[in-house]
Every structure is written in C-alpha cells, then in structure tokens.
Structure 1
C-alpha cells in the first residue's frame, strides 16, 4: 500500500521591534495555498517544497499537500490571523488523516501576539493530532530562533546551509530522504538542540566568508561521522525579543545519544572560543561614500537598517538622501510607498512634478521631497527562474512607478513590499544595473546572491532602523541572560 505523506506549514520571520502587526491580508498578498495549489506553485521552484516533491515523486510516495501560508517578513502576527491560519491548517489536515508521515515547513522565527514561540505551538498541536508514532520531519531557515518545543514535537529538523539561502531545494530533498529512511525502518532519528549563550550579528552571517566558513566546515566534518544524520547551524534572528532568541545547533543522530551530545559540545566550544569574530565591524554611509569613487562599479550598497528580508518597511530614504547630497553618483533604489505610487499614477510618463516618498527614521519618519520625472508606470509582476534567496519563482510588487530625481537618481516605488532577492526586480522593467554607480538593496546578505554577478563591489552600510546591525541597541525584555555580545560569557 502506498505511503501517504502530509505537507504543511506556516512560515514567517517576525520582527518584534515593529509596531505594525502582520494580518491575514499580508499572507494573501504573498502565498496562502491549499491542496494542489501548493504543488503547482513550487514544483519547479528552488524552494524546500520543490525538493520534497521531487524526492517523493521519484519514490512513488503519495504527497498529500495540505496547507502552506507565508508572508513577507514583518512584525508580530496578529492573534486572530494566526488563529485563523491554524484553524484552517488543522481542519485541512483532519480531512486527509490518517497519514504515514508529515513533512513540515516552518521558518523557526515566527511570533504571534498570543504565542511568542508560534512555530513550537503549531508543531506541538500537529504532534498531538498525529500521535507519537508518526514521523514529523521538516526544514528550517537558519535565521530561526529554535525552541525546545520545536525539537520535542518533531523527529528531525534540517536547516539550510547557505546564507543567502540558495540551497533550499536541496534542504527539502534532505528532509524528504530522512523521512523515507525513517518509514523504511533504516534509521531512528533522534535530535539534540544546543542553545548558545550568544547571538551572531546579522552582517556576520554570510556563509561564503569568514567567520562562517570555518564554522560550517566544522559542522560538515561532524556531519560525516558514522551515526550522525544531520548537523544544522542555526545562525539565529536577533530582531525578535523572545526567550529563544540566539544562535544554536541541531544535531540529528541515528538513535545515538552520546554522539549527539558530543557533537553539540564540540560545536558549542568552538563558538565560545571564536565568539568575538561574530560581532561585526560596521561602517556608516559617511565612511563608505568616499570609497565609491575608486571602487569598481556598480557598487552594491546594502541598507542593513532597512532590511526588508528582516521585516523592515523598505521605505527608508537615508541612503538616497546622503547620495543626493553628495551629487557624484548615479544611483538606483527601490522604495515601498503605495501612496506615492498613487500620486505618480495621476501623471503621464515624462511629466515633471514634486513628489514626497519614503521616510527617514533619523528625523521622526519625515518623507523625502524632491522634483522627479516619471519614467514608467506598470504592474510589478516578475519571475525568478534561478536559485536565489527565498527560493520563490513568482513575485508581485503591485503597481509600480519608476521616477528619476533632478540629480539623475532612479527610484522604483512599489505598492507591495518585496525584498530584493531577484535581479529581475530591475531587469524585467528595463532597468540596467550597469547604468548606475550605486545600486541600493535593502538587505544584509540575501541580495548578494542576486546582485553579485553585476555588482563587483559590495558595501554593507550601518544604517539606523528596525533591523540595525548593532543588536545591542534594541530594548530586549525577554531574551536569555547572560548572552554575548550583550554580556560577557
């Protein structure tokens, strides 16, 4: 009899330092999928769901798509939104029970108004529904804040090994293979969580450079030992004031407790010894602008304080204003401002008019005002067909307006907030990165996968905002203590 595997998940990265709650419409504007719509969206995507599908189809295992909801990173999920999503997901699961196993797709850093450990909550309810004998195996974003409840509710969780996340499909394949081996009786996965008394600064989480390279090499070496099924480095998400905030390790063994405990101990000792390497060395826009003149162009300037992929609003004009004042460099920047798009839509291409857009947290959020020329108005749909951070194929910025300022800088104004994970966000609308001295992307590491092929110079800019690089500037009330770099350990 063919095995039946349920696929389900609620996926969100929640920044608790943002006052605006995430509501159901945010999920609807992104992806709120049920049944076969999940398979249609992700079959050819570089996403973990695509990898899960691929493995199960090759093995002629029936994948039962239940429910998958995701929204662009933002604030805390409203209580009624989470409850509605949870009710729908569990009801849809009830309709397809019994199943032989579950593949789950949490992010690991979701927070709702009523459940700070939202992923731990829904995974625990799933465990209650299917019982203790049904294997539950899934994936995690390495920007998770992993809780003991997540570990207790699942048999194995496997995190992506790259940041930018370009191995999501492979991670989905790895999770599906573990589940198949479990169902075949070949392995008995047992997982161990090591929660570290430290948090890695976001700009130090680029896995292609030190200090992450050596850390991941150690994790890979441990993963190759007999009896160890998976080793995951959990970089952590510092913009969440929850008890689980911080970096961690997950080790999955084939029923070998001593192996798991030893591996966690070895990895923890490494991090304690090298913790100072993970705190970051930050430079402001004032430090970096003088370096642009001699740099190979275009320069990719990463606006770390307005990192859309970390929940930021995507409307900061701090870098644009500094570049406008400098007057030496032609720049492209994308700003989320639906009201400005609406105003621009009352004009025709080539019209010149005054426009206010975005905001500047350094002056209580006041918009930037300038005279602009409207270049184009259009719908902001585009596709990404290569492995990029997030693994998505279809993107929607809503209606967009592209304008140029009097200084020749180009601003793409969007009606929906979309992180800069794809170069198609520019090129699909005739915007050539090579035409600029500076391309601003509102991120920290994720945009590198998309932009490094056309931007030979990359600069991470320490800007203010709800994703500012220096986590010690946030007012935490629920984090664990002591924790480096807040306290010495």
Structure 2
C-alpha cells in the first residue's frame, strides 16, 4: 500500500481497506503492510495492521527490499507465534518529499538512526514517513513508526517519540538537493551551461504527486527564450493528440496546448508545429526547437524509456523538462545537470502558497511559531 490514499466518500483508503480485510480474515491472523515513506498515516491503521514498514530511501531504491522485509516479518510472526504491534507518533510537520532526500543531511542521519532503533531489545522494525504534502487530509503529516514484538509496547512508544522529536527538531534544516529557482531563471542557467543534457523538473505540475500534467508554462517560456534543442515531457492534451493524428506524420498542426484541466495555474498556449512522431495515444509536436510530448492519458515521467517510447533520446537533447519532483535514479544517471523549477501548479513545492482546509493545525511549515512535544500515551 502507499499510505496516502484518499477516496471520495470514504476518506482514508488504506485504513478502510485494512478494516475490511480484518472483517474477512479475523483478528488472529497477522497482517503485515509495506508502505511508501510519503504516506499520511491515520493512527487508527494500527488497529487493523500488526506490522507497518516503509521505504527508507528517497528517491525510492529500496522498494523490493521493503516488500521483502514485510513478508519476512510476517513469516517470522507465523513461525514464532509472536504477534507484533505497531506504534505511531505524528510530529506536526508536512514537507514535500523533495526536501527530505535521504542521502543528504539532515534526513541521512535520521534514516541511519533507524538501524540503531531496530537493534533495540523488543523492537522489530522502525520507519519514518514524511507524509504526502499535496493531500489536504486530516492525517497529512509525518509519522514515526516503531514495531514491537508485542511484549514491549511501552519501549516501542518511547522510541517512536524519540524518532518523532528528532524529525521535529530538524524541521527547519531540510532543503532541496539541487539548484532551484523560477522557471525563467533556470532556463537561462540551462542555456548557458556547457553540460548536456540539463534536466529541469517542472515540480509544480508533478503528475507522480497527483498534478494534472497540463500546465504549459515551460512550453511558453522555452519558446519565448527561443531554445533550440529541448523536450517537454510532457503535456496531457487529448485534443492536441487527435489533431496531430489527423494531420499525419510530418503534417502541420495549429492548436492550443494545455491549460484545460488546471485553469488556475496555466492557460492554453497557441502553437504552430509539425507532428514528428505518432503512436497509439501519443504524439510529438515539434514547435521551433522544442519537442512537446503529448498524451491522451495522464502519465508519470520516471524513466528514460518513457521518452524513448516517443522516439526521443533524452541524452541527445540540451534541455529535458520533466513533470516530476526529484529526479528518479534512471534520470539522474544521465543528467549532467539537474535543476528544480519552483513552478506553479497543484504540487507547488512552496506549500505555504496552497490553500489547505482539512489538515490539523498548527502544522509546520504552514505555521511557524508553535512548540510541540509527543503526547503522553493513554
């Protein structure tokens, strides 16, 4: 499970799903769950799941290992007959994942400390979840999780409190891993750089974080700067895809792109170009020096192959714009320079600019001037 699923009419998806699973399997069965570290955990989830374990890396390179660990902990419980219990302590901090990269300070030291916690007597596993910043939900915040052997729950709670306090104490020190700036400034940096390819993350319209993927600001600005060798991956625009297909390969296309779903953070950009690649549900529209990858379905952009499917080799482009936050390991492998655009959109990294209605307050960084200590265990 992810941990940040919110379902209209239901609410917290994971807790409701696990509750229904319990109704089927009963209470004697051990339930083990692997989570993304960007989950927003409802404390009630521990009523239905015995073991909760989450990724320890951002970007996520331990997905398989975490799933394997969840399975092994379940098997151990079955073999020993000892049923673990999970404890959650939630510090009131909600940061975009791009600020909590586990390879740099202060996240690196916090996530290394999990190994020490795991070695404590009675502790089965520990996790530190960052939360999902663009989910305006009641339980949106970080979560410190410690799983005990079922006999030392008080010790697990103590360790979860310490972990939560460590995260809280460092809340103002988390930072972006790469150079960040406004869209125009980063286009200038990329044009002036001798490196190739230069990747720019269009973080405000990050589809993998839930954004629509149709804010066309980079199309507008790259054309305004007369960039000669760039690709934008990509824009969700079924109408533009249809027009490209009607024009045929090599055909001229005049259309407006983007700004049809997210009408707050962008507006359609009028372009004239040529359809240079057509596949099922996809098209590449070349406008001056910019290749625009168009799709008729919303999709994430996480791998080199995602661009190769459109006939575009990112290593051959000067500037590669991806609707993403931090670059995935696949992109980092080829990026000679990585930049983070503080672009407008539903997944704006400056979350203070977003309108929250349901999160618990006070909550850092929406609120700055308040103190916090872990609640006493009831």
TM-score (ref. length: structure 1): 0.71
Aligned pairs (5 A) from 1:140-151: 140-151=35-46
1:468-479 equivalent positions in 2, closer than 5 A: 468-479=348-359
Instruction: Decide which moves more: 188-197 or 211-220.
Output: 211-220
2:254 to 348, 351, 354: 354
Q: For residues 408-450 of structure 1, what are the alpha-carbon distances to aligned partners after superposition, in whole Å with 9 as ceiling and x for unaligned?
A: 11111111111012210112443111221111111112x4222
* Runs of at least 5 residues in structure 2 that lack an aligned partner in the other structure: 371-378
Cα deviation, residue 309, structure 1: 0.6
Alignment map for 1:433-444 (pairs within 5 Å):
433-444=314-325
The partner residue of 1:285 within 166, 171, 183 is 183
Residue 462 of structure 1 deviates from its aligned partner by: 0.5
Residue number in structure 1 paired with 2:373: none
Q: Which residue of 1 aligns with 2:90?
A: 195
Q: Identify the residue that residue 454 of structure 1 maps to in structure 2.
A: 334
Q: Give distance in 2, aligned partners of 1:265 and 1:421.
A: 35
Of 224-233 and 131-140, the range deviating more from structure 2: 224-233
Match of residue 32, structure 2, among 93, 112, 137: 137
Bigger Cα displacement from structure 2, 357-366 vs 211-220: 357-366
Distance between the aligned counterparts of 2:296 and 2:133, measured in 1?
28
Distance 1:295 1:462 in 2: 23
Change in 2 beyond 3 A, CA 1:428/1:201: closer
Aligned residues: 363
Among 297, 300, 315, the residue aligned to 2:196: 297
- Matches of 1:286 and 1:195 in 2, distance apart? 38
1:363 Cα deviation from its structure 2 partner:
6.8
Residues of 2 paired with 1:442 and 1:278: CA distance?
Answer: 22
CA deviations on 1:260-319 (whole Å, 9 max, x unpaired) are 122112212212221101365952113322222125221111111100011111111112
Query: Is 1:366 aligned to 2:267, yes or no?
Result: yes
Counterparts of residues 379-398 of structure 1 (less than 5 Å): 379=280
**Map 1:122-201 → 2, pairs under 5 A:** 122-185=17-80, 187-201=82-96
TM-score normalised over the length of structure 2 = 0.91
**CA 1:353–1:114 in 2, change beyond 3 Å: closer, same or farther?**
closer
Following superposition of structure 1 onto structure 2, how do residues 43-442 of structure 1 map, counting pairs within 5 Å?
106-185=1-80, 187-255=82-150, 256-278=152-174, 283-292=181-190, 293-294=192-193, 296-333=195-232, 334-359=234-259, 365-379=266-280, 399-406=281-288, 408-442=289-323
**Secondary structure at the residue paired with 2:173?**
helix
RMSD: 1.9
Answer whether contact 1:251 1:264 (CA < 8 A) is retained. yes
C-alpha contact (below 8 Å) 1:202/1:469 kept by paired residues: no
Return the alpha-carbon distance in structure 2 between the equivalents of residues 223 and 287 of structure 1: 45
User: Which ranges of structure 1 fall in alignment gaps of 5 or more residues?
Assistant: 1-105, 380-398
Deviations, residues 454-489 of structure 1 (Å, cap 9, x unaligned)? 112111110111111111222222211211112233
**Partner SS for 1:276:** coil
SS in 2 for 1:359: coil
Whether the 8 Å contact between 1:146 and 1:244 is mirrored in structure 2 is yes
Q: Does 1:465 align with 2:345?
A: yes
Q: Are the equivalent residues in 2 in contact too, given 1:330–1:409 (CA < 8 A)?
A: yes
Change over 3 Å in CA distance of 1:295–1:320 after alignment to 2: farther
What's the secondary structure of 1:353's corresponding residue? strand
Conserved? CA contact 2:216–2:266, under 8 Å:
no
Aligned residues of 1:279 and 1:485 also touching (Cα < 8 A): no
Instruction: Answer yes or no: is the 8 Å Cα contact 2:91–2:165 preserved in 1.
Output: no
1:147-197 per-position Cα deviation (integer Å, ceiling 9, x unaligned): 112111110111112222222111111111011111112643111101111
For 1:165 and 1:187, the matched residues in 2 are separated by 30
Aligned equivalent of 1:482: 362
Partner of 2:376: none
